[in-house]
Amino acid sequence: MREQTIALAAVYQSAILAHELANSGAVRDNKSWEVSLNSLYKIDAPSTEDIFNNDISGLALGLNTLIKSFNKDSYYINVIKYTITLLSLAAKLQQRPEMMDIIEKGLCDSKVLQNSEEPFNNSVVAKLAQIYSKTISQMQPRVIVAGQPFHLKDQAITEKIRAILLAGIRAAILWRQLGGTQLQLLFKRKVFMNEAKKLLTSS
């Protein structure tokens, strides 16, 4: 349950970051942003925590969002919708090896664009957004992000939203690989919340 909670929190983290971008045009926590995007490149990590830099504090935003969502905080209605859609899309993506290949190649191409000073520069984000558009955006159900029209018409912001949703898909696939199921979201809410609280305390 600890590893499932970490993965689920990562999905929630991507969802809340997409929500923030759509409504304010920026993310409040750069560490969460970088930890989520960096997880895209941790394909053969030795452990679940290693995917997120072995630093649970980098998932604090997602863990807190998970807890508040499970407590039915009305602010998180859209975030919950995005999370459920990402989990559904991840299940379908696993049945589409050709799309998985496109994503893998795209990630390799985007890594070349990184630099030590700014690993997730505009070029990298644009490439990640392109990967999302070519694959996940072609599947149903689509993630329909609600926000301020001014921000949603800004190309740089929409590219960031697509990039972070791609990270959410990666986390959703991880959650499924760890045995996560949709039914658990209904019947094991308290367990996930308790695990999330433990993780926050230990971070």
33-77 confidence digits (pLDDT tens): 999 999 999 988 889 999 999 999 999 999 999 999 999 888 999
Distance CA 81, CA 15 (A): 9
User: Could you tell me the pLDDT band of residue 117, with boundaries at 50, 70 and 90?
Assistant: confident
pLDDT number for residue 21: 98
User: Could you tell me the pLDDT band of residue 116, with boundaries at 50, 70 and 90?
Assistant: confident
On whether the CB atoms of residues 48 and 111 are closer than 8 A, the answer is: no
Q: Which domains does the chain have, with CATH numbers?
A: 2-202 (1.10.3890.10)
pTM of the predicted protein model: 0.97
Tell me the angle at which helices 30-38 and 60-70 cross, rounded to the nearest 10 degrees. Answer: 100
pLDDT number for residue 182: 87
Q: DSSP string covering 12-53, please?
A: HHHHHHHHHHHHHSS-S-HHHHHHHHHGGG-SS-SSHHHHTT
Residue 203 pLDDT greater than 80, yes or no: no
- Which residue, chain included where needed, has tokens 């905080």? 73
